[in-house]
Amino acid sequence: MCHDFFNDASFYDFLFQVDLDIASQVQQQPCQYCGGTLHSARYPRKPRGPRYGLTVDYQTRLSFCCAEDDCRRRTTPPSVRFLGRKVYLGVVIILITALKHGLSHQRRQQLFDQLDINPQTFYRWLTWWREFFPASRCWQAARSQFMPPLNNIQLPGALLGRFTGRDLPQRLCQFLQLLLPLSSTSWSGYLRVAIDPQKM
């Protein structure tokens, strides 16, 4: 199941459409530094993980630059695809670490090979879930929605299991939505993100 999932072009396209919607909301607002107009200024990304299923749209991150000459500051909208500056897609980071307990050693190694992940990277992600993520404002604000409370050691697998989407892609979208505040350091306004399962 996972093997197919990681190369599922329609899922990645859906995430791109969500990112387009978020970016359009951000662009409708003025530059947060000077009030100027925001112009498109995508910048290159080379996401790692899936070998198939990613269109050319995944080679750039949606971003804006202020049109005012004396400002020109960059505003990068939150993203359900890119988790900040991490080179692997957010969905890969969630799923590989969430599946930690459910995979045989051999199956995990197959996934590492398939997704070009080395063990050091994997253990760095586990540390991120247990140390950085629990202390983040994003999780501090969201954690009370999940009762009974989750222990840091259960992250992210138990958290993935608490979302109510009807299947794994929907639960992953809900998870990525929760992580949105961590996906950009240059914008922190209010967003209306509607993940419509009909479009998935």
Under the rule (CB under 5 A), what is the footprint of Zn ion? Answer: 31, 33-34, 36, 66, 68, 71
Q: How far is the CB of 43 from Zn ion (least distance, A)?
A: 17
Question: Sign of the CA dihedral 179, 183, 184, 189?
Answer: negative
82: DSSP letter: B
Name which of 72 and 162 has its Cβ closer to Zn ion: 72
Inter-residue contact 58 to 11 (CB < 8 Å): no
The answer to whether 183 and 90 have CB atoms below 8 angstroms apart is yes
Q: What's the min distance (Å) between Cβ of 22 and Zn ion?
A: 19
Nearer to Zn ion, 102 or 189 (CB): 189
**Shortest spacing between CB 134 and Zn ion, in angstroms:** 34
Q: Which lies closer to Zn ion via its Cβ, residue 75 or residue 97?
A: 75
Q: What are phi and psi of 17, to 5 degrees?
A: -65, -40
SS3 for 26? helix
CB-nearer residue toward Zn ion: 33 or 112: 33
Token reading at 5: 């999932």
Smallest distance, Å, CB 199 to Zn ion?
Answer: 33
